[in-house]
Amino acid sequence: MNVISASLADSATMVRRNFRHTMRNPLTLFNSIVVPIFVMFLMVYVLGGAFDVGTDYVDYATPGLIILTIGYGIGPTATAVNSDMTTGFINRLRVMDVSRAAVLNAHVFAIILRTLVAIAIIIGVALLMGFRPSASFPEWLGAIGIIVLTVLAIGWLTVASGLAAKTPENAGLAGVPLMLLPFLSSAFVPADTMGPGARQFAEYQPFTSIIETLRGLLTGTPSAGSAITAIAWCVGLSLAGYLWARATFTKRA
Amino acid sequence: MNGSAIAASGLRKAYKDKVVLDGVDLHVRTGTIFALLGPNGAGKTTTVNVLTTLLTPDAGKAVVAGHDVATQTKAVRAAIGVTGQFASVDDLLTGEENLLMMADLLHLPKKEGKRITDRLLDRFDLAEAASKLAASYSGGMRRKLDLAMTLVGQPQLIFLDEPTTGLDPRSRRTMWEIIRELVADGTTIFLTTQYLEEADQLADRIAVLDQGRLVAEGTADELKRRVPGSHVRLRFTNRHELDVAARVLHGSTKDDEELTLRVPGDGGVRSLRALLDRLDEHSLEVEELSVHTPDLDDVFLALTGHESKEISAR
């Protein structure tokens, strides 16, 4: 068996393992959608009536909620990666000459699958609440593309911080900023309505360009400018997370 | 094969300015059990990590299963199996799934993997629990599953890092039995332990590690001969009897407050009988008698001049 097919076979084995973890622990999926759904109710039915965003509020807020969902879904991955490291599971695999790529890729792959399922549920709930996307088929593909890219970036950062954390508890905390950052973006109100400081922060942080891109695609008014910024952020963060994860994996025996 | 499973010389490893391994030489013959004995923090796990290719030493050379750990990593890994200090089983998989996962990662054909899995489950009395999640296993069962996972690859040399730490006495005996069976099948075992008794029970040769240095090496008997800790302790009911006993039993030391007498001896039946005869001869009434064999602390005290105190941080 050559190196590449061995690595693919190992990746498949590890993906199967992570998939079983999710199926046996359905709470991880439930946890990742319960808060976003609550926030959606809060924003659309309680607070949103007071916001003037120029369109139906549910249409405005859904792209932000989709991104918010990603942040709420990563906790279990950070903890799982960390316990693989601290219980010696990864050392066992290293001695078996299982490729490092297989272990880490499987975690990232699992987080992407799980998040896509969670997002599908969120979009379903949004549709029930009156969300009416006007995206064409290619725009939907673009929307899925930007979502996957975002999960990829966040997934690699999560895996890396899970590897680097000293304990599973610490690893679980790694996701907190990612849960909070979308609130300080244009997810729920346009950035130019915010106060000074917050506005600049919102305008330049990665989630705003990602959410703007997604919103443009879903409402049928894509903007190339924010798309390029968003893709650049995603690719940059993915690469940073990947390199960080790789270095930590090699260093910690 | 020259009969040498592990040959290491001058292994050194330091983290920043903390020296963990300070020139360790090891030689383990094929088909034997070798025990690395030492307290927490002595460098046992670091030694295992170096010999199993997980850690690169700062200096020194190690040849494991005939291959250099530094340059022939793959060949070394193919020949060895490692069971770490903590049972690294996947809690959310069943016992059977854990074993099948190992078979998949070794790229064994499906049928072969299933066959080996079934055999190992039977052998380790895990067949009944095979379809239960490992999270529900007891400590002893987890260790057995952990070792079974290592055995899927049929390694010729197995590293066991503190295989019985934290196990109850019964599980510990079961683990000892399993280890003996493995060696009977021709496998070489390198184990680390904090328990002299464990090394004594299992190992053909024992090396004592202290603060990154080997302070002694030999068979269990050789080591114990170097330890003066073996003695018989007698307690008397009154001071007079104690004094008489101290006079007639040469080399003994008495403790006036406790009314006890410490008599050096190997604790064997013959010397014990001689001791009792001598007490009878002088019509001495002994209230209590106990035989003390050296434990790790005695060995350490004798070999290093300090207690086997735990050193923080591994």
How many CB pairs (< 8 A) connect A and B?
A: 59
B207 - beta bridge partners? B36, B217
Residue B259 lies in domain: 231-292
Q: Report the alpha-carbon angle A205-A108-B87, nearest 5.
A: 125
Give me the mean pLDDT over the B283-305 stretch. Answer: 77
Mean of pLDDT values over B127-133: 94
Say yes or no to pLDDT of B1 above 60. no
Residue with the bigger pLDDT between A210 and A225: it is: A210
Q: Is B22 exposed, middle or buried (0-12, 13-18, 19+ CB in 10 A)?
A: middle
Q: What is the mean pLDDT of residues B46-74?
A: 93
Does B144 lie in the same domain as B37?
A: yes
Q: Does residue B314 surpass a pLDDT of 50?
A: no
Q: Determine the pLDDT at residue B157.
A: 95
- Residue of B49, B93, B101 lying closest to A253 (CB–CB): B49
Closest CA to B193 of B177, B206, B179, B204: B206
Please tell me which residue, B58 or B220, carries the higher pLDDT value: B58
Highest-scoring range by mean pLDDT, A14-23, A78-87, B107-116 = B107-116
B121, B124, B117, B220: which is closest to B174 by C-alpha? B124
Dist. CA A185–CA A194, nearest whole Å: 10
Domain assignment of residue B42, yes or no:
yes
Mean pLDDT of A130-154: 89
pLDDT at B295: 67
Distance CA A86, CA A171 (A): 11
> Is the per-residue pLDDT at B16 higher than 60?
yes
Cα A202 from Cα A205, distance rounded (Å): 5
Among B64, B77, B105, B150, pick the best mutation site for testing chain A contact (most A Cβ within 10 A): B105
DSSP state of A135: -
Q: Are residues B276 and B151 in the same domain?
A: no
Nearest-angstrom CA–CA distance, B74 and B110: 23
Q: What is the β-pairing status of strands B286-292 and B260-264? A: unpaired
Confidence of residue B144 (pLDDT cuts 50, 70, 90): very high
Average of pLDDT values for A242-248? 89
**Which residues are CB-contacts of A209 (< 8 A; sequence separation ≥ 6)?**
A226, A229, A230, A233
> Quick check: A22 pLDDT over 90?
no
- Distance, in Å, from the CA atom of A156 to the CA atom of A171, rounded to the nearest integer, reads 13
Q: What are the chain A neighbours of B84 within 8 Å (beta carbons)?
A: 88, 91-92
B208, B225, B242 - which closes a domain:
B225
Are both B206 and B276 inside the same structural domain? no
Q: Which residues contact B220 (CB under 8 A, 6 or more apart)?
A: B199, B200, B203, B206
Domain tally for chain B? 2
pLDDT digits (tens, 9 = 90+) for A25-45: 888 778 788 888 888 888 888
Which token pair is A115?
């998040």
> B242 and B162, same structural domain?
no
DSSP B133: B
Number of domains in chain A: 1
Mean pLDDT, chain B, whole residue set: 88
d(CA A150, CA A241): 12
Chain B partners within 8 Å of A21 (Cβ) = 92
Residues B204 and B265 in one domain: no
pLDDT for residue B2 is more than 70: no
- State yes or no: pLDDT of B129 exceeds 90: yes
Q: Are B93 and A20 within 8 A, CB to CB? A: yes
Contact B251, B265 (CB under 8 A): no
Structural domain harbouring A43: 3-251
Q: Contacts of residue B150 in chain A, CB cutoff 8 Å?
A: 92
pLDDT at res. B17: 84
User: Do residues B164 and B144 lie in contact, with contact meaning Cβ atoms separated by under 8 Å?
Assistant: no
Nearest 5°: phi and psi at B62? Answer: -135, 130
Q: Which tokens belong to B253?
A: 């030391």
Regarding predicted confidence, which is higher, B310 or A129? A129
Same domain, B282 and B207: no
**What predicted TM-score, i.e. pTM, was given to this entire model?**
0.79
A25 close contact with B: CB closer than 8 A? yes
- CATH number, domain containing residue B266: 3.30.70
Tens digits of residue pLDDT in B170-225 = 889 999 999 999 999 899 999 999 888 899 889 999 999 988 999 889 888 788 77
- Residue A4 touches chain B, beta carbons under 8 Å: no
CA-CA distance, B254 to B246, in Å (whole number)? Answer: 7
Of A6, A10, A88, the CB nearest to B88: A88
pLDDT higher at A179 or A93: A93
CA distance, residue A63 to nearest chain B CA (Å): 34
**pLDDT given at position B167:** 87
Q: Is the ipTM of this complex over 0.90?
A: no
**Tens digits of per-residue pLDDT, B238-267?**
899 899 998 888 888 888 888 898 888 766
For the ranges A123-127, A139-143, B214-218, B224-228, which has the lowest average pLDDT?
B224-228
Question: What is the rounded average pLDDT for all residues in chain A?
Answer: 85
Q: Is the CB of A13 less than 8 angstroms away from the CB of B54?
A: no
Q: What percent of chain A has pLDDT over 90?
A: 19
Our CA-based measurement puts residue B52 at a distance from the nearest CA of chain A, in whole angstroms, of 7
| Whole-number pLDDT of residue B110 | 93
pLDDT band for position B52 (50/70/90)?
A: very high
Shared domain check, B238 and B168 = no
Judging contacts by C-beta atoms under 8 Å, the chain B residues touching residue A87 are 86-88
Does any CB of chain B come closer than 8 Å to the CB of residue A81?
Answer: no
Query: Do B10 and B43 belong to one domain?
Result: yes
The confidence band for B311, taking pLDDT boundaries of 50, 70 and 90, is very low
Q: Are the C-beta atoms of B64 and B28 separated by less than 8 Å?
A: no
pLDDT band for position B307 (50/70/90)? low
Considering only CB atoms, which chain A residues are within 8 Å of B105?
10, 13, 93, 96, 98
Instruction: Give strand ranges (E) for B110-222.
Output: 157-161, 188-193, 205-210, 213-218
The pLDDT of residue B312? 39
* B118 is a domain residue: no
The closest of B203, B197, B204, B209 to B172, measured between CA atoms, is: B197
B119 pLDDT above the threshold of 90: yes
CA distances from A103 to A15, A84, A91, A166, B24 (A): 8, 10, 11, 19, 33
pLDDT at B57 over 60: yes
Q: Which amino acid is at B300?
A: F
Q: Which residue has the higher pLDDT, A59 or B305?
A: A59
Residues of A in contact with B107 (CB under 8 A): 1, 6, 9
> Is B63's pLDDT higher than 90?
yes
Q: Distance between CA atoms of A97 and B182, rounded to whole angstroms?
A: 23
Asked whether the predicted pLDDT for residue A103 surpasses 50, the reply is yes
- Domain boundary (B225, B241, B256) is at B225
A13 to chain B, any CB pair closer than 8 A? The answer is yes
What pLDDT is recorded for position B306? 63
Max Cα–Cα distance, chain B, nearest Å: 78
Residue B310 has pLDDT above 80, yes or no: no
- Say if residue B219 is in the same domain as residue B274: no
User: A-chain residues within 8 Å CB-CB of B55?
Assistant: 253
**pLDDT interval class at A6 (50, 70, 90):** confident
